Copies of this chain bind each other. A is one copy, B any other.
Amino acid sequence: MFLDADMNVILIEPNELNARNEVTLEDRRAEHIVQVLQGVEGQSLRIGRIDGPLGTGMIRAVGKATVTLRCLFNSEPPPRPLVDLLLALPRPKVMKRLWAPLASLGIGHIHLTNAQRVERYYFDSHVLEPDFVRLQLLEGLAQAMDTRVPQVSIHKQFKPLLEDQLDALAGDSLRIAADPAATQRVHQAVGNQPDQQRVLLAIGPEGGWTEFELQLLKQHRFELVTTGHRILRSDTACTALITLVYDALQ
């Protein structure tokens, strides 16, 4: 079920639990418990119910490749992350490795969009298939000890997205868009916001937004912020900008 991260919490789908709140794992989670955590009967592990609370799982039985846990979910669900992302779809190779970091950094809603400098075939890639996406997102959540799976929306037209859908999707969010030519820093645009202010961060394609797209963003209340002094690959740029937004929100 999980691929390549530290599993700092074992995440469990609600429908995997039986009536006694027990679950028998047979996949990578079992492997992780047996091989990495060297779990033994009676041991307690950090667990989380996907989109629900964190809790404790007590190991009831360990087989060669199976683990049975008795689950107790005794904390509030983690809060929904305050930051949403509007990202011009990167190359499949880059998008593939971006899902887990995005989930680990904490994104409420990931909007992937077309743009002038996005190639249409990117949208046909298997890296956008829901099952694949979910696996990757869960990997990032397990790393970060979160349970809230980011929502994902795919928008094949940029202009209708901004003109017709954005207000419904991100009504009260502070809107910022990264642009290499901008001079305003993230801290200036995002600092001193009210508590719990949501932020929608827009990040363009590797070739940048077009002038038309920048105008459209500005018309729809996006403030432009600098991407920093170096040109970064999309995935590195996403991590950098999301980090700055959370730092400014603190």
The stretch of A19-27, A55-63, A233-241 in contact with B is A233-241
Which single residue of chain B is at the shortest CB-CB distance from A186? B247
Contact between chains at B143 and A231 (CB < 8 Å): yes
Most chain B beta-carbon neighbours within 10 Å: one of A5, A93, A146? A5
For A64, the chain B residues whose CB sits under 8 A away are none
For A100, the chain B residues whose CB sits under 8 A away are 233
Query: Is the CB of A154 closer than 8 A to any CB of chain B?
Result: no
Question: How far does the Cβ of A89 sit from chain B's closest Cβ, in whole Å?
Answer: 15
Most chain B beta-carbon neighbours within 10 Å: one of A93, A101, A230, A246? A230
Number of copies: 2
- A105 CA to B231 CA, complexed, in Å: 8
Contact between chains at A239 and B243 (CB < 8 Å): yes
Indicate which residue in B101, B187, B231 contacts A6 across the interface (CB closer than 8 Å): B231
Question: How far does the Cβ of A218 sit from chain B's closest Cβ, in whole Å?
Answer: 24
For A93, the chain B residues whose CB sits under 8 A away are 4
Query: Is the CB of A232 closer than 8 A to any CB of chain B?
Result: yes
Contact between chains at B104 and A232 (CB < 8 Å): yes
Which single residue of chain B is at the shortest CB-CB distance from A238? B239
Most chain B beta-carbon neighbours within 10 Å: one of A101, A229, A236? A236
For A185, the chain B residues whose CB sits under 8 A away are 247, 250
- A8 CA to B208 CA, complexed, in Å: 13
For A246, the chain B residues whose CB sits under 8 A away are 228-229
Could you list 10 A-B pairs, sorted by A, with CB under 8 Å?
A: A4-B93, A6-B206, A8-B231, A104-B230, A104-B231, A104-B233, A105-B232, A144-B231, A145-B230, A247-B247
Chain A contact residues, CB within 8 Å of chain B: 4-6, 8, 93, 97, 100-101, 104-106, 143-146, 185-187, 206, 228-233, 235-236, 239-240, 243-244, 246-247, 250
